[in-house]
């Protein structure tokens, strides 16, 4: 877990060594990993890490060897008490991300987990081979986990990507929620880092839309998708009226594009960058709002 100077979570995740692929067991396995209680208003208490060598139902979609990373906002004791069976509790529409639906009809709770809700527009539900996806978990009408699911085959391509975590209109509990997650291969350390990031705070009576419209701090998110070809989106937030610049540079520091160059009121913004005329490679984008400055790397891959 990484936190900033105010104790706000910046990243929560798991690291796998590259040697894990040469020692994967033939049987399914499950491990519960407690998270340190160091982050202010962090809802996430533990990670349930699953290895599924044969995948799991529906086998025509998720029947490939993969890892599940359940980020739970309930205790391990509360999780293990969740029974298997049909869950008759209704989840209010405002707590369900757009395009999400229960994987089973009627909703069926998996023992020790809850009901799995899938993104019906995710690529594996559009006829493509499953590589990665994000699942939401509910039990008795309450959200209990966020779960990146990633196949072994996809991890072994050594990706470095930032992917969206779709947001509901509002959340039931007050705290920080992730808007993106990373799958990151570190060649030097021969490690894979899988972590949720770019947290926004939602109060008990505050919708995500309200939070995005009234951010409490300046921030710049990782572009999405990344790598990209040829367009990608960049989000940033302004917590007080400031003159804002957002510029793109090559590895030599040459300025290639100015995406924003004007005064902005408080709010969250999104801008698109088109690398149509550029060659494949690493580029940087630099955001400045008053004294706040941040630079991030992105990869154009044609």
All structural domains of the chain with their residue ranges: 2-213, 219-300
Burial class (CB in 10 A: 0-12, 13-18, 19+), 136: buried
- Closest to 177 in 3D by CA, of 156, 146, 148: 146
- Closest to 275 in 3D by CA, of 257, 297, 295: 257
> Cα–chain-centroid distance for residue 250?
27
Helix (H, G, I), strand (E, B) or coil at 94: helix
H or E stretch at 175: strand 175-186
Q: Report the relative pairing of strands 231-238 and 2-3 from DSSP bridges.
A: unpaired
Q: What is the number of H-type helices and E-type strands within the chain?
A: 4, 21
Contact between 151 and 130 (Cβ < 8 Å): yes
- Closest to 155 in 3D by CA, of 104, 197, 191, 103: 191
CATH 3.30.70.20 fits 219-300, yes or no: no
CA quadruple 16, 147, 227, 170: dihedral positive or negative?
A: negative
**Other CB atoms closer than 10 Å to residue 119's CB: what's the count?**
20
Q: Which two tokens stand for residue 280?
A: 């494949």
* CA atoms within 13 Å, Cβ hemisphere of 13: 21
DSSP code of residue 183: E
- Closest to 67 in 3D by CA, of 46, 83, 53: 53
φ and ψ of 209, to 5 deg:
-60, -40
Q: Which pLDDT belongs to residue 61?
A: 96
List of residues 6+ apart from 208 with CB closer than 8 A: 167, 168, 169, 170, 171, 177, 200, 202
Q: Which pLDDT belongs to residue 208?
A: 54
Contact between 168 and 85 (Cβ < 8 Å): no
- Closest to 122 in 3D by CA, of 98, 154, 146: 98
Q: pLDDT per position in the chain (302 positions), as tens?
A: 888 877 788 899 999 999 999 889 999 999 999 998 876 567 899 999 999 999 999 999 999 999 999 999 999 999 999 999 999 999 999 899 999 999 999 999 999 999 999 999 999 999 999 999 999 999 999 999 999 999 999 999 999 998 999 999 888 888 889 999 999 999 999 999 999 998 888 765 445 555 556 677 888 888 888 889 999 999 898 988 899 999 999 999 999 999 999 999 988 899 999 999 999 999 999 999 999 999 999 999 98
């Amino acid at each position: 877990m990484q936190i900033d100077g105010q104790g706000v979570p910046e990243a929560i995740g798991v690291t796998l060594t590259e040697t894990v692929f040469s020692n994967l067991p033939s049987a399914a396995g499950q491990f519960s990993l407690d998270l340190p209680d160091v982050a202010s208003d962090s809802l996430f208490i533990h990670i349930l890490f699953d290895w599924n060598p044969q995948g799991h139902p529906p086998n025509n979609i998720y029947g490939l060897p993969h890892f599940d990373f359940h980020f739970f906002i309930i205790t391990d004791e509360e999780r293990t008490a969740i029974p298997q069976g049909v869950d008759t509790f209704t989840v209010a529409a405002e707590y369900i991300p757009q395009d999400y639906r229960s994987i089973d009809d009627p909703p069926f709770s998996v023992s020790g987990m809850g009901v799995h809700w899938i993104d019906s527009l995710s690529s594996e539900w559009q006829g493509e081979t499953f590589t990665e996806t994000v699942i939401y978990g509910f039990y008795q009408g309450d959200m209990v986990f966020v779960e990146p699911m990633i196949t072994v085959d996809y991890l072994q391509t050594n990706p470095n990507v930032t992917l969206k975590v779709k947001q509901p209109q509002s959340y039931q509990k007050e705290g920080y929620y992730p808007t993106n997650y990373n799958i990151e291969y570190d060649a030097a350390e021969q490690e894979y880092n899988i972590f949720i990031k770019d947290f926004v705070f939602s109060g008990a009576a505050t919708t995500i839309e309200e939070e995005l419209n009234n951010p409490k701090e300046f921030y710049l998110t990782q572009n999405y998708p990344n790598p990209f070809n040829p367009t990608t989106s960049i989000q940033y937030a302004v917590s007080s009226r400031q003159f804002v610049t957002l510029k793109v540079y090559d590895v030599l520091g040459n300025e290639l594009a100015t995406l924003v160059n004007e005064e902005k009121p408080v709010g969250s913004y999104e801008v698109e960058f088109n690398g149509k005329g550029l060659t494949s490679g690493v580029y940087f984008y630099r955001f400045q709002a008053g004294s706040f400055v941040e630079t991030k790397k992105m990869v154009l891959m044609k």
